[in-house]
Amino acid sequence: MTDDTKSSNAMWGGRFAAGPDAIMEAINASISFDKRLYAQDIRGSRAHAAMLAATGILTNSDAEAIGEGLLTVLSEIEAGDFPFSTALEDIHMNVEARLKALIGEPAGRLHTARSRNDQVATDFRLWVRDQADAAITSLTALMQVLVAQAEKGADWVMPGFTHLQTAQPVTWGHHMMAYVEMFARDRSRFEDARKRMNECPLGSAALAGTGFPIDRHMTATALGFDRPMANSLDGVSDRDFALEFLSSAAICAVHLSRLAEELVIWSSAQFRFVAMSDKWSTGSSIMPQKRNPDAAELIRAKIGRVLGAAVALFTVMKGLPLAYSKDMQEDKEQVFDAADTLMLALAAMTGMMSDLTVNTAKLEAAASSGFSTATDLADWLVREAGLPFRDAHHVTGSLVALAEKKGCDLPDLSLEELKSAHPALTEAVYSVLGVHNSVASRQSYGGTAPDQVRAQVARWKGLLV
Ligand code: ARG
């Protein structure tokens, strides 16, 4: 900390005689977390300096000194020996102060035609854009693992549930592909948000634009943006990109949590549909038999952080007048934590799903119990005997009651017993009471039949290359 930063801030302290109260410094400073934006801050400043030179606002030699000096700052930060200072508030002023120490007077020209308001909006947008890309990549990897699971088990029969009660037999592949569809929507939400956020706020200056003849198209292009933002007030006050990222992350986290919940249920001693590998299980310090699905439980729990971050930032933003308010400094920690949490959860789920062991015998036995083919019986009566579905439902219900009373399953009932419920029932009905026939018959588009599942697997394998 230099003396002039102690007494009053070197960056804006011209009209200040005294430095801030210690508590003021504590509430105001963001360097403890926004140092994470150092690479984006330096990238943005280099683009700005190059543009100031190209437009004749700065001399080439000043701009070169700034550009070089910023690279030195970058390598110092990356080497871990940068003297971050709380008195300098945030990453922007830390970088600029260090630049001044390195190159002297030209450093003071970098902030021409710029404000920290458009600077932070640009840095943060660049950071969030990278995270959207990372989410897209991670989701693709997860989808690939799920498609591979679906391909392996396109015809493994398992119980399909509604209300967590056995409903109808489905295939493992069909169940896996349901999640592929969900994660595909998540991925498209990130892609969509990325497109919309890819406009550059730099050059909005404090709020009103600038009188200097800057070239906003040049900086936008240099930073990989499609175009500059069209309104400078919007440029400094918009955090939609962060809200969209958090919203997309929250929905994705809900999907991860639902799959995690299924893994917790399926790996329990009562189900035993799946087993996590040693890499993805933990033991108990007291109960030697335990194999706990901790990673799945934590994924399920971490939705709270992601959703909490979204709610927090929505709450920060909802009452802010245009343009910049310091409230917006609260955007970063929420987004940082949500992004870290989401990436970790995606990686853990991908790892767990890639070496999950599926107990196909257990799946099939469970699929066959609980009168799971009752609908097939009712459908048979409609198809083969011309009964209205409601009547067929009633007849089948009476047979389920009979089987329940006898303690057996539907296929265990004798033909006489079936006929007692309805004379049109014949030997042929037994073929639809088997779970394999049941799933094979569900050939409607998007249905659970193995052929349908294989068609979806092939479609996604084509899309995911
Ligand atoms: N640290 C600030 C933030 O994150 C940077 C912008 C400060 N702007 C200002 N006018 N004080 O929002």
1: pLDDT strictly greater than 60: no
> Residue 373 C-alpha to ligand 1 middle, in angstroms?
63
Mean pLDDT value of segment 191-220: 98
Q: What is the pLDDT of residues 228-261, one digit of tens each?
A: 999 999 999 999 999 999 999 999 999 999 999 9
34: pLDDT strictly greater than 90: yes
pLDDT at 20: 84
Query: What is the three-state SS of the chain?
Result: CCHHHHHCCCCCHHHCCCCCCHHHHHHHCCHHHHHHHHHHHHHHHHHHHHHHHHCCCCCHHHHHHHHHHHHHHHHHHHCCCCCCCHHHCCHHHHHHHHHHHHHCHHHHHCCCCCCHHHHHHHHHHHHHHHHHHHHHHHHHHHHHHHHHHHHHCCCCEEEEEECCEEEEEEEHHHHHHHHHHHHHHHHHHHHHHHHHHCEECCCCCCCCCCCCCCCHHHHHHHCCCCEECCCHHHHHHCCHHHHHHHHHHHHHHHHHHHHHHHHHHHCCCCCCCEECCHHHCECCCCCCCCCECHHHHHHHHHHHHHHHHHHHHHHHHCCCCCCCCHHHHHHHHHHHHHHHHHHHHHHHHHHHHHCCEECHHHHHHHHHCCCCCHHHHHHHHHHHHCCCHHHHHHHHHHHHHHHHHHCCCHHHCCHHHHHHHCCCCCHHHHHHHCHHHHHHHCCCCCCCCHHHHHHHHHHHHHHCC
Q: Is there an atom of ligand 1 within 6 Å of 453 CB? A: no
* 268 among known catalytic residues: no
107: pLDDT strictly greater than 70: yes
5: pLDDT strictly greater than 70: no
Q: Is there an atom of ligand 1 within 6 Å of 329 CB? A: yes
Confidence of residue 8 (pLDDT cuts 50, 70, 90): low
Q: Is there an atom of ligand 1 within 6 Å of 116 CB? A: yes
pLDDT at 370: 84
Q: Is there an atom of ligand 1 within 6 Å of 90 CB? A: yes
Percent of the chain with pLDDT over 90: 88
Q: Is there an atom of ligand 1 within 6 Å of 124 CB? A: no
What atom of ligand 1 comes closest to residue 89's alpha carbon?
1
Tell the residue nearest (CA) to atom 12 of ligand 1: 329
> Residue 329 C-alpha to ligand 1 middle, in angstroms?
6
209: pLDDT strictly greater than 50: yes
> Residue 324 C-alpha to ligand 1 middle, in angstroms?
8
pLDDT at 283: 75
40: pLDDT strictly greater than 80: yes
C-alpha span between 202 and 236 (Å, rounded): 9
> Residue 118 C-alpha to ligand 1 middle, in angstroms?
9
> Residue 116 C-alpha to ligand 1 middle, in angstroms?
6
Q: 163, 285, 414, 444: which is the annotated catalytic residue? A: 163
Q: What is the pLDDT of residues 363-381, one digit of tens each?
A: 999 998 889 889 999 999 9
* 217 among known catalytic residues: no
Percent of the chain with pLDDT over 70: 98
pLDDT at 7: 56
pLDDT at 287: 76
pLDDT at 13: 76
pLDDT at 21: 87
pLDDT at 430: 92
> Residue 93 C-alpha to ligand 1 middle, in angstroms?
10
Q: Is there an atom of ligand 1 within 6 Å of 328 CB? A: yes
Distances (CA, A) of 7 to 107, 231, 388: 21, 37, 88
Tell the residue nearest (CA) to atom 11 of ligand 1: 326
User: Lowest-pLDDT range, 104-118, 366-380, 389-403?
Assistant: 366-380
> Residue 269 C-alpha to ligand 1 middle, in angstroms?
54
What atom of ligand 1 comes closest to residue 326's alpha carbon?
12
What atom of ligand 1 comes closest to residue 324's alpha carbon?
10
213: pLDDT strictly greater than 60: yes
12: pLDDT strictly greater than 50: yes
What atom of ligand 1 comes closest to residue 91's alpha carbon?
1
Q: Is there an atom of ligand 1 within 6 Å of 120 CB? A: yes
Mean pLDDT value of segment 343-352: 98
Q: Is there an atom of ligand 1 within 6 Å of 30 CB? A: yes
> Residue 33 C-alpha to ligand 1 middle, in angstroms?
13
pLDDT at 2: 42
Q: 7, 75, 268, 284: which is the annotated catalytic residue? A: 284
The overall average pLDDT reported for the chain is 94
Confidence of residue 3 (pLDDT cuts 50, 70, 90): very low
pLDDT at 19: 82
Tell the residue nearest (CA) to atom 7 of ligand 1: 116
Q: Is there an atom of ligand 1 within 6 Å of 29 CB? A: no
Q: Is there an atom of ligand 1 within 6 Å of 121 CB? A: no
Q: Is there an atom of ligand 1 within 6 Å of 237 CB? A: no
96: pLDDT strictly greater than 60: yes
pLDDT at 443: 94
